[in-house]
Every structure is written in structure tokens, then in C-alpha cells.
Structure 1
Amino acid sequence: MTDLLDAAELLGREELGALQLERLRRTLRHAYENVPFYRDAFDKAGLRPEDCRASACERATTSAQVSTSRSV
């Protein structure tokens, strides 16, 4: 039965957190490099994808509003 589960579902708390952070960094990097809207939003906020660290990234993603209903 476990072969039907995503391997991430079996990770411990720390391992899952590290995987989520790595995936978030990859997503942020992709958005920054490929979408002018997000690159401008990051730049205006003084953020770069590589600034994403565990606690700092959590604070930044919860406090930085990158898009609003008016901007999209």
C-alpha cells in the first residue's frame, strides 16, 4: 500500500520542512526569472529568491503581498 503514496508523505517533520522550503525556493526562482510582474514585485519589496531562508522565508511570504485582485 505504501507504494501508492508520495514519498513526501512518509517524511519526518524536519525532512518535510526542508523539502517544502526547497520546492518553495525553486518556485520563487522560476517566478523571478520568468515572469516580469513577479520580478518587479520582488524588486520593489527588496527581495530576491535566494534570500529565502527557513524562518526569513516564512516571514517574507506571509508579509509580502505579491499580487492583489487589482493587479491581476
Structure 2
Amino acid sequence: MPSHRSFTAADAWFKSSYSGGNTTECVECAHTGTGTLVRDSKWPDGPVLAVQADAWSIFVEGISPNHAAHAAL
């Protein structure tokens, strides 16, 4: 996955749906052709976590409410 420094302001960074309106604990994500980038919304020029597409899918499935309900059965 390319370095986050190669991305421009035109990239589609979006705030996590679990981030509150005025809270200080927010993350932003940007989907790429090969995965997802994650960064701290308070520090947009700081470090970025790059996650490959297959790993991101497993992560999202694992934290979804429907998955958690079925896993507890």
C-alpha cells in the first residue's frame, strides 16, 4: 500500500460513524484501491495506519453488532 504522504486533500477521508459530534476522540478513514487508511482526525498530517482490504473486511465484520450477537450464541 502506498505511503499516506502520496494522498492529496482530494482523497475521500471520512469520520468514523462512531465518532461523536464534538468529541476529541475521532478517527478518519479513506478507502483506497488496496485497502483502508486510518488517521487521528486531530492530527491529519500525523501517522496513518494502512490496512489491506481483506484485513479491513475481517475487522469490520468482527466489530459489527450482528456478528457479535451470533458469536455469543
State the TM-score, normalized to the length of structure 2: 0.29
Hey, which of these two has a bigger chunk of strand by percent? 2
Give the structure with higher Rg (CA). Answer: 1
- The answer to which structure has the higher helix fraction is 1
TM-score normalised by structure 1 residue count: 0.29
Larger RCO (alpha carbons 8 Å, 6+ apart): 1
